[in-house]
Amino acid sequence: MASRSSSVLAALNVVALLLLVLCGWPAKTEAHTQFGAYNKTCPQAEEMVFKEMTAILAKSPDLAGPLLRLFSVDCFVGGCEGSILLNSTANNTAEKDSPLNKGLRGFDVVDSIKAKLEVACPGVVSCSDVLALAARDSVRLTKGPYIPITTGREDGNRSSAADVAPNTPKPGATVTDLIALFARFNLTAKDLAVLSGAHTIGKAHCSAFSPRLYNFNSSSNDASSDPTLDANYTATLRGQCKAGDIATLVDLDPSSGTVFDLGYYRDVAASRDLLSTDAALLLDADTRAYVLRQANATATDEFFADFAASFYNMSKIGVLTHHKGEIRRQCSVVNPPSASSSAPLTHALLLATSLFTAFALALAL
């Protein structure tokens, strides 16, 4: 009788363990991103991305800012899982086609790098990691800091334009709005001030800031401009952006738009901030203090260290791991259903059947 009880107990323990594994419990055992996630499966991955980015930016230096922005947009809408890269379908408008994302660029860069990684290591490196590494290297290649980041992200299979507006700073957002948005992702007011420093590279369409140049006072029909803007800078911008211009691109940092430096903070402190959300940083005590400290800094050390830390924090938002996502073969479309995708589940079910059979036999003893 004791032997039969022991057999039953052993069978129950095995079945219980199986159920825990199949259900993915406990969560603490799940895989996370890690440094060097591809060291064994595709050891050349990070070097390949850097090599490609070096060649791309040598030819088109203006793409550094767009790639950095593309990654931040991806992370804030659904997490850093590559949903911004997906194309719309007949039944769904994807994030990239939201009116708020109209000016995004760099998709072809990610697609190009991913295609070369697929040749070298088929089905290994995710699109979300390609985007994260490309953004990281955009900073490094514009004389910014080297930022160690983890890899091993998986790609999401959902992208909806409806998710963009609730997770994107509105053009007229106040600094309180911006801080509240960042707090939703466990980012601080300091992270806001630091990550805004990414505007030291890149450009913006005239449509993003023209309300500050023309008819700023909505109750008036005159050509008034934002009084917080430096008058000379306003005149310069009006020369670049005529009323109604939606196509022209203007440097976010007029002093050094292709170099990752402190120029952005000096511009903001001097009221030469292109976007209203940049100007808003001066209206909160903490963000203002950070802006002014960097504007008066004689070296980039503090900003570079802070940016590396804040970028790393952002890169962890909503990542997918532990088979909760997929490794897309093409970044613009989800993988088609295949027999191979169901293989792990089939194996698990066969194992479950075997163990339940063992349990039944134990009860029969």
- pTM for this predicted structure: 0.82
Question: Around 184, how many Cα atoms within 13 Å sit in the side-chain half-sphere?
Answer: 15
The pLDDT value recorded for residue 32 is 81
Q: Map tokens 């994030």 to a residue.
A: 95
Distance CA 345, CA 347 (A): 5
The pLDDT value recorded for residue 348 is 46
Q: At what angle do helices 107-120 and 127-140 cross, to 10 degrees?
A: 110
Phi and psi, residue 312, nearest 5°: -60, -45
Question: Around 302, how many Cα atoms within 13 Å sit in the side-chain half-sphere?
Answer: 15
The pLDDT value recorded for residue 216 is 81
The pLDDT value recorded for residue 192 is 98
35-to-76, 133, 185, 239, 326 alpha-carbon distances in Å: 22, 12, 22, 47, 19
Distance CA 179, CA 166 (A): 14
Which segments in the chain show pLDDT lower than 70?
1-31, 218-223, 339-365
The pLDDT value recorded for residue 129 is 98
Coil, strand, or helix at residue 125? Answer: coil
The pLDDT value recorded for residue 172 is 80
Distance CA 64, CA 126 (A): 20
